[in-house]
Amino acid sequence: MDIKVFNKFIEDVRVGNVKYFYYDGKRYLEQKKEILKDINEMPFYTLDGRFEDIFLNILKSLEVGDDSYDLFLQILEEEFKKMFVPNILLLPMSFIQDRKIKSNIIISEHLKLFKTFKNDKKENEDNRYLVFKRNKNEFKGNNKRKLISFARHDSINAITEEKKEESLEKYVENTIYANFSKSHILITKDSSFFNYPILAISIFGIDSKIESESGKIVDYVYSIIRLLDFDEKREDEGWGVILRELPPARTYTVYYNAPNTNPKPPYDNGYGYSFRYNFSPTLDVNTEIFLTKVDDFFKLLNLSVSACFLDKRKYLKEDINFINKWKNALSMFNTAYEFASIKKYDSTILLLLTILESLFLKNTGNKKKELVQEIAKFNSNNCLNITMEKLNELIYTNYKTRNKFVHEGVGIENKISSNRLNNYQGEILGMKPFTYNGSMSDDEDVNMVRELMSLVKDIIISKEYINRLKIIKTIL
């Protein structure tokens, strides 16, 4: 920042020539851009109306001098810290089987998984609502359906108290110091919100920053769970998500209260917003295996969530680039997974190869050859459990398929001329790819895509990557 120009900026604010940060036309436009760039380096900040007020108040009180800009940033960060409040993100884990979770799981101080008791026997004794459950006999020529019931949402508290566990309501209230109403969510936002277990993530910081990053966080949650489950067996005797009787939630929420709220009850209703997913809210994973991998899930989620709130001033530029590439790989894997779930294999290949290129390649040239060499170097200690011969085959075959699709419009999907009634792969966006009938599992090109996806998965969650990511200051 040119200190002479900034000092002139201070003078103009004092005499009233500059009354707004955002709406003063092009005056001091370059200086404003530089201020916003420096603010973006901070872990928590807000650029809403609160920033507008703080900005003008600071400049009115600043003395012109050689260190005025550094002092401005220092005071600004102190003012931002006064806005820090406990926030809680509530994420429905759609299709995770509640009945297989024995009790609420405290993963860490800031990460908890809450049962909804939807499938408990006592819960099912309430017959106010009825649904039909699909079962495997339905697909074997027997069209009988099993009639089951599930209980009112307002009975969840009683069961939680009987089990002597902290209820979701109490946890939210004790975390953000505000009332929490399930009925409000069910009536006005999402009637399916509590059909499955709820993952609660608490983060201490500025509410607007956490809201803006919440979409990425939810994306990482789903991607990590799908990564950890990808090579595992399906549950429910092979039918997986097809058997779930309750619809998935369509929203997630972020709740908080105002700064300096009294932590003791009675509480007011606080603040909060609901958001829609940017992807399919379907977790077609093995619940029992997920529960055995909770520690791995926490380790990866802690890194990815913390990476959303880096104090970039304390990291080398090359480290920030590395962290961003890993985060982008997580997000792209999630999208590739969903393309593969509905048999859009050509789009899947494009994304998977993009992930590998972003992680390993620094320049252009013979991408296939260079990519094989870089991955082989990465695999020098056999962390990927793949031979050089197989690595060559995977990369060269998938690039050949990709190039034919990009340059000629001819791809794997051209082979799919019809979809039989009993071909379940592709029925639901987000269902586990390459696993159901009709997934063309005997097709060599499709198998190559599946193996490439498994390789990308192994790289993203490899010990080599996780060890390098330990430079991240974690917050969960």
Pairing relationship of beta strands 105-108 and 251-256 according to DSSP bridges? unpaired
Residue range 368-383: average pLDDT? 91
| β-strand pairing of 85-92 with 129-133 | unpaired
Summarised one tens digit per residue, pLDDT across range 302-328 is 999 999 999 999 999 999 999 999 999
- 106-120, 293-307, 340-354: least confidently modelled range: 106-120
Is 56 within 8 Å of 47 (Cβ atoms)? no
Shared-domain flag, residues 143 and 182: yes
% of the chain beyond a pLDDT of 90: 65
Report cis status (omega within 30 of 0) of the bond before 266: yes
In the block, tokens 């803006």 appear at 212
Of 65, 81, 97, the last residue of a domain is 81
Statement to judge: residues 72 and 103 lie in one domain: no
In a domain? residue 395: yes
Please give the average per-residue pLDDT across 223-244, as a whole number.
Answer: 81
Same domain, 50 and 129: no
**Boundary-marking domain end, from 64, 81, 98:** 81
Residues 53 and 199 placed together within one structural domain of the fold: no
Q: Is residue 111 part of a domain?
A: yes
Top pLDDT among 138 and 171 is at: 171
Q: Is the pLDDT of residue 122 over 50?
A: no
**pLDDT score at 123:** 40
Residue 128 in this model has a pLDDT that exceeds 90: no
Clarify whether residues 70 and 115 are in a common domain.
no
Comparing 43 with 141, the larger pLDDT belongs to 43
Q: Does any domain span residue 476?
A: no
Is residue 304 in a domain?
Answer: no
Domain range for 365: 334-466
State pLDDT tens for residues 191-200: 999 999 999 9
Q: Per residue in 438-474, pLDDT tens?
A: 555 668 899 999 999 999 999 999 999 999 999 999 9
Q: What is the pTM of this model?
A: 0.88
- Above 80 in pLDDT, residue 229? yes
Same domain, 41 and 180: no
Q: Map 33-92 to HEC letters.
A: HHHHHHHCCCCCCCCCHHHHHHHHHHHHHCCCCCCHHHHHHHHHHHHHHCCCEEEEEEEE
Residues 134 and 56 in one domain: no
Q: 66 in a domain, yes or no?
A: yes
Residue 218: pLDDT band with limits 50, 70, 90: very high
Whether 318 is in a domain gets the answer no
Q: How many domains does the chain have?
A: 3
User: Among residues 433, 427, 431, which one has the least CA distance to residue 450?
Assistant: 433
Examine the domain organization and report whether 102 and 233 are in the same domain.
Answer: yes
Question: Final residue of a domain: which of 259, 275, 290?
Answer: 290
Query: Do 138 and 278 lie in a common domain?
Result: yes
Residues 56 and 144 in one domain: no
73 plus 97 within the same structural domain: no
- Both 71 and 90 in a single domain? no
Does some domain include residue 319? no
Domain membership flag for residue 264:
yes
Stretch among 231-235, 321-325, 375-379 having the lowest mean pLDDT: 231-235
The span from the CA of 199 to the CA of 252, in Å, is 10
Q: What mean pLDDT do residues 418-440 have?
A: 76
